[in-house]
Amino acid sequence: MAQPVFTVESQESIAKKAQVNLLPCRIHHDGDVNPIDTYWNPQDGQDQTKTAYLRGRKLQGKIVKLPNGYYGTVVEKSEPKKPETSSDEEEMTEVIEIRDDEDEQLEMGAMKGRATFDELMIWNHESLANSSEDPYLRGMEEWISFAEQVCPTTH
């Protein structure tokens, strides 16, 4: 059997809940920003909306809840697990691998679950995000619709 190229190790018992924000910008920093209030201080609005300013730009955010039976996972890159084989299996199995080009070897990747979420805050410039204009919100709705059509009995 072929080895997986990419694996996601999910712990269904992850106790940590994440507060997820989808921002319409790129931030080229991955370190601490203490104190966070200096940079990010959203104010509550009406109907589960929020307003915030990031580098002078006004952002409007709204909470989007995932449907019942769905959850998101925050993942972190980790080292792939080595395939487990017993010494008996190794003696009985002969593995033959044919490759045309040694440069085309696939790298194995792995992710490990760190936290889960069942809602996320989607931010947009100046106005609230809606699925007709926001590609992330529309994509999420399309994937959920697709998942329900592929596996209608699970949800």
Query: What's the number of domains the chain is made of?
Result: 1
Instruction: Give a yes or no: residue 12 inside a domain.
Output: yes
Cα angle value 103/108/110 (rounded, 5°):
155
CA gap 127, 150 in Å, rounded: 34
CA gap 139, 40 in Å, rounded: 26
Q: Is the pLDDT of residue 73 over 90?
A: no
- Nearest 5°: phi and psi at 148? -70, -30
Give the three-state DSSP class for 144: helix
pLDDT for the residue numbered 84: 62
Instruction: Give a yes or no: residue 95 inside a domain.
Output: no
pLDDT for the residue numbered 16: 86
Residue 136's CATH number: 2.40.128.680
pLDDT for the residue numbered 87: 54
pLDDT band (50, 70, 90) for residue 51 = very high
Instruction: Give a yes or no: residue 46 inside a domain.
Output: yes
pLDDT for the residue numbered 153: 61
Helices (H), 2-126: 87-92
Query: pLDDT tens, 99-154?
Result: 555 555 556 778 888 888 999 999 988 888 888 888 888 888 898 888 888 887 65
Instruction: Give a yes or no: residue 73 inside a domain.
Output: yes
Mean pLDDT (the chain) is 78
pTM equals: 0.66
Instruction: Give a yes or no: residue 86 inside a domain.
Output: no
**Average pLDDT of 73-94?**
66
Instruction: Give a yes or no: residue 94 inside a domain.
Output: no
For residue 40, the enclosing domain spans 6-81+108-150
